[in-house]
Amino acid sequence: MELDNQVALVTGGTAGIGLETARGLAAAGAEVVITGRDVERGKQAVDTIDTIGSGRVRFVQADLSDLASVAALAEQAGPVDVLVNNAGSFPAAPTVEQDVPGFEMVFNTNVRGPYFLVAMLVPHMLEQGRGAIVNVTTLATLKGYPGASVYSASKSALASLTRTWAVEFAPHVRVNSVAPGSTRTEGVLVEWGEGVEELGRAMPLGRTGRAREIAEAVVFLASPRASYVTGSTIHVDGGGTAV
Ligand SMILES: NC(=O)c1ccc[n+]([C@@H]2O[C@H](COP(=O)([O-])OP(=O)(O)OC[C@H]3O[C@@H](n4cnc5c(N)ncnc54)[C@H](OP(=O)(O)O)[C@@H]3O)[C@@H](O)[C@H]2O)c1
């Protein structure tokens, strides 16, 4: 299989897009490490991916907004061949009502956490001359959504890092992004409620995405099938970028 003998780390791999990505990477032969803050959810996710109990999927508890936790994660998960920066925080607030702790939490989770996780894990990839990093960003890096100012700005930073890292870590480590549109996941329903369906209806394909549909693009970019792709973004948004 195309990811045989490779270790993949998926942050936020216990739910939604991350869980489906972890499932896809495991199916492609990778040994998979998933993370999240909730230990119980982590254990359940491992069981749903590794249905035969092979032990090739493991959970490491980590909070991406906390630098000490990011360092502990790099220690416990590494070395890895594939890193998917998927864990994200997306609370909505109008700019005039945004508080400072909320602003910092979003940037610490969506930018600072992945930044230092990459800094800790990429030396091994560079040393072995092989690696793939996939950052999960959003359609909101390109479109204005009221209430999504901090979230969109944080994911735009991650989109920018994708390009810098692609150049900085070339030629052996590839770095790409997947930018989902409105995708029906547990997390998005908690934060945005059924309003997410309205956003989906406004897309040319007329519906929200499914986590599995986003994961397909992530697994492709992580795989050798994408061997000539770096610094790019795959938009999986039902046509959202086209309108
Ligand atoms: N769903 C959408 O419409 C959509 C659209 C565009 C982009 N995205 C992006 O796609 C990614 C996944 O979204 P999703 O909808 O699949 O989310 P989800 O269903 O809420 O799942 C989020 C995952 O991330 C983990 N997580 C959240 N905050 C964390 C933190 N501070 N530290 C460590 N882990 C954390 C969660 O586990 P714990 O809660 O246990 O920590 C969970 O495993 C995010 O980056 C999001 O911004 C989503």
Q: What is the CATH number of domain 7-242?
A: 3.40.50.720
From the CB of 87, is ligand 1 less than 6 Å away?
yes
Asked if residues 65 and 39 have their Cβ atoms less than 8 Å apart, the reply is no
Distance CA 210, CA 155 (A): 20
Give how far Cα 165 sits from Cα of 64, 83, 140, Å: 19, 13, 21
Q: Tokens 């697994």 sit at which residue?
A: 219
Which residues are identified as catalytic? 151
Q: Specify the pairing of strand 31-36 against strand 233-236.
A: unpaired
Give the DSSP per-residue string, 154-204: HHHHHHHHHHHHHHHTTTTEEEEEEEE-SB--HHHHHHHTTHHHHHHHTST
Determine how many CB atoms are found less than 10 A away from the CB of residue 228: 7
Question: How far, in Å, from the CA of 125 to the mean position of ligand 1?
Answer: 25
Asked if residues 81 and 31 have their Cβ atoms less than 8 Å apart, the reply is no
> What pLDDT score does 191 carry?
85
- Which amino acid makes up residue 168? E
> What pLDDT score does 32 carry?
98
Alpha-carbon Rg for the chain, nearest whole angstrom, is: 17
Distance CA 63, CA 52 (A): 28
From the CB of 90, is ligand 1 less than 6 Å away?
yes
Distance CA 85, CA 10 (A): 6
Helix H, strand E, coil C: the string for 129-142 is CCEEEEEECCHHHC
Please state the domain extents for the chain. Answer: 7-242
| Nearest C-alpha neighbor of 215 from the set 234, 241, 200 | 234
* CA 17 to ligand 1: nearest atom: 16
Write out the chain's pLDDT in tens, 243 residues: 999 999 999 999 999 999 999 999 999 999 999 999 999 999 999 999 999 989 999 999 999 999 999 999 999 998 999 999 999 999 999 999 999 999 999 999 999 999 999 999 999 999 999 999 999 999 999 999 999 999 999 999 999 999 999 999 999 999 999 999 999 999 999 888 898 999 999 999 999 999 999 999 999 999 999 999 999 999 999 999 999
From the CB of 222, is ligand 1 less than 6 Å away?
no
